[in-house]
Amino acid sequence: MSASTYPQPISGLWVPCLTPFDGHGDVAPVRFAELGRSLLKNGASGLVPFGSTGEANSLSLGERERLLDELLAQGIPAEQVLPGTGSCALPDAVRLTRRAVAAGCRGVLVLPPFYYKPASEDGLFAFYSELIERVGSERLRLYLYHIPHLSGVPITEPLIDRLRAAYPDAVAGVKDSTRDWENTRELLERFPDLTVVPGNGKLLLPSLAKGARGCIAAIGNLIPRALDAICTGAAEPDADTLQQHVTEFEDAVRSYSTIPAMKALLGDERNAWSPVRPPLQPLSPKRAAALRTEVRKLDLDAPPMSAS
């Protein structure tokens, strides 16, 4: 296999897709693929199914496999898909990662095992090491998922150093979802040979200035064109103004419960996108209407997707 056939680092806007559920609480694969196509059409460089935004840890392994298969069956190119394959159960992480690699996906985003805390550096290294070894593919490109406010298990710089030393080709990058600029800046400066991306839209412009190649931002489900414009430089010379509008938009959404809020905005009055899986709860009609009113005041394009 020539070097040119290996998966290249991600760049631009990659969107951690929301997961649709039907009226019975089951996943809706066709609607999921429709969302993916719409995002790619409206500025996303790629899709990141089964992240925190996609309620991944409320999905079974079989549901994630079914949704991934549907994305690819609906014609979405595998090189534009970076599925979340993390699991507290190592065999599940291996199984889904193998499936993604075999399908030709761009890479995988892997949450650390988060139940047994505190997790030692040695324990986390063993988890990622076994995952890489068991998958056993030179095509594997693994992106570490650092979201300690939810996982309770940080991806530390010494751990990144160890993994990079042991698996320099397999460990491709880090998604930093701390929402802490100092942490993102430190990662970008310390690991210039890694693909370090912020996990939100608020830090996009300063991250690009420090060498980031893009972002993996939940708010991309709603305003992909704005984030793409910042990523590609199309917003110049108005990038600062657009970044401020993105920040205001994200702050408005996060002032509600983020995932239910995004689903409320993605839909229309029929609320076809509103179902979430417990323990999450949908926004009440009153709160959903208030949120829509609030974001309409912001100087950004309306979400390009419909609630179909």
| Direct distance between the N- and C-terminal alpha carbons of the chain, in angstroms, rounded to an integer | 42
pLDDT of residue 67: 97
**Is residue 73 within 8 Å of residue 100, measured between CB atoms?**
no
Domain assignment present for 307: no
d(CA 219, CA 216): 9
d(CA 72, CA 78): 6
Q: Domain residues for 102?
A: 10-235
Domain assignment present for 38: yes
As a residue count, the chain comes to 308
Domain assignment present for 108: yes
Whole-angstrom CA distances from 231 to 90, 92, 225, 253 are 35, 34, 10, 21
Domain assignment present for 136: yes
**Is residue 163 within 8 Å of residue 143, measured between CB atoms?**
no
Domain assignment present for 293: no
Domain assignment present for 111: yes
Contacts of 97 (CB under 8 A, 6+ apart): 85, 108, 110, 131, 135, 140, 142
d(CA 88, CA 127): 9
d(CA 206, CA 196): 13
Q: Across-strand partners of 174? A: 144, 196
Domain assignment present for 176: yes
pLDDT of residue 302: 47
d(CA 269, CA 288): 9
Q: Across-strand partners of 171? A: 142
Long-range contacts: 100-104, Cβ < 8 Å, 24+? Answer: 100/68, 101/135, 101/137, 101/139, 101/140, 103/68, 103/72, 103/78, 104/78, 104/79, 104/139
CATH number, residue 134: 3.20.20.70
Residues 60-69 as b/e (b if ≥16 CB within 10 A, e otherwise) read ebebbbebbe
pLDDT of residue 265: 93
Domain assignment present for 302: no
Contacts of 143 (CB under 8 A, 6+ apart): 10, 82, 107, 108, 109, 110, 172, 173, 174, 175, 195
Q: How many domains does the chain have?
A: 1
d(CA 218, CA 199): 8
Token code pair at residue 16: 């951690």
**Is residue 258 within 8 Å of residue 179, measured between CB atoms?**
no
Taking the CB of residue 18, how many other CB atoms lie within 10 A of it?
Answer: 25
Would you give per-residue pLDDT tens digits along the chain (308 residues)?
A: 445 578 999 999 999 999 999 989 999 999 999 999 999 999 999 999 999 999 999 999 999 999 999 999 999 999 999 999 999 999 999 999 999 999 999 999 999 999 999 999 999 999 999 999 999 999 999 999 999 999 999 999 999 999 999 999 999 999 999 999 999 999 999 999 999 999 999 999 999 999 999 999 999 999 999 999 999 987 788 999 999 999 999 999 999 999 999 999 997 644 678 899 999 999 999 999 999 999 988 867 544 433 33
